[in-house]
Amino acid sequence: MVPVRVRVFSTITGEAGVDRIRREAKGRFAEKMGEWVLRYVESGEEDGEMRTTVRAREDSITVIRSGGLDFRHTYRPGRRDASRVHTPAGEAEMEVKTLDYRRRRWEGGGEFRFSYELRLGGEHLGTYALHIQWREEPWDDRADENTGDTP
């Protein structure tokens, strides 16, 4: 896997308006038989460390998250799918209607873009649009060993 710098842009549109979130993380990227695999770790003061793996195929994208929030969900345009979300407060059913999905690569980087309507525990939480972008960025893995920040 190639070391990359990851940027995640989230736009959430709900009853309270529009919320925009931007995060950056170190990660690793690989392509295996047409599937693109991106792994990264986000560190936040409120929610601790969140490990994410994105497995993107031509027609679908699967997001696997673990940390304060644990789930595995596959997003497929035009489909409504359900999965389970595990949180410190308990477990809930997550229902997603995927609206759009695209992936694109260029020299030294790439991106995923997808949007969906989210219901959690039967409650409509809004429409989410995610833009995950990465670019190759070498770093010294020995420095990560010393700080415990290895993705």
| pLDDT: which is higher, 149 or 5 | 5
pLDDT per residue as tens digits for the range 70-98: 999 999 999 999 999 998 888 999 999 99
Q: Which tokens is 82 given? A: 């359900």
CB neighbour list of residue 129: distance below 8 Å, 6 or more residues apart? 10, 11, 13, 113, 114, 115
Task: Quickly name the fold that domain 2-136 has.
Answer: Lipocalin (2.40.128)
**150 C-beta neighbours (distance < 10 Å), count:** 11
Q: Which tokens is 24 given? A: 């950056």
> In whole angstroms, what separates CA 111 from the centre of its chain?
11
Domain ranges of the chain: 2-136
Q: What is the pLDDT of residue 22?
A: 95
Residue 115's identity, in one-letter code, is S
Q: What is the pLDDT of residue 64?
A: 96
- HSE on the CB side for 148, CA within 13 Å? 2
Q: What is the pLDDT of residue 104?
A: 97
Q: What is the pLDDT of residue 44?
A: 66
Q: Which pTM value belongs to this model?
A: 0.85
pLDDT tops 70 at residue 63 = yes
Q: What is the pLDDT of residue 46?
A: 61
**Calpha distance 151→149 (Å, rounded):** 6
Q: What is the mean pLDDT of residues 56-67?
A: 95
Q: What is the pLDDT of residue 148?
A: 42
Model confidence at 149, pLDDT cuts 50, 70, 90, reads: very low
Model confidence at 41, pLDDT cuts 50, 70, 90, reads: very high
Nearest to 55 by CA among 73, 79, 80, 78: 73
What integer best gives the mean pLDDT of the chain?
89
Nearest to 127 by CA among 135, 117, 136: 117
Given the structure tokens 């736009």, which residue do they identify?
Answer: 11
pLDDT per residue as tens digits for the range 104-146: 999 999 999 999 999 998 899 999 999 999 999 876 554 444 3
**Calpha distance 54→60 (Å, rounded):** 11
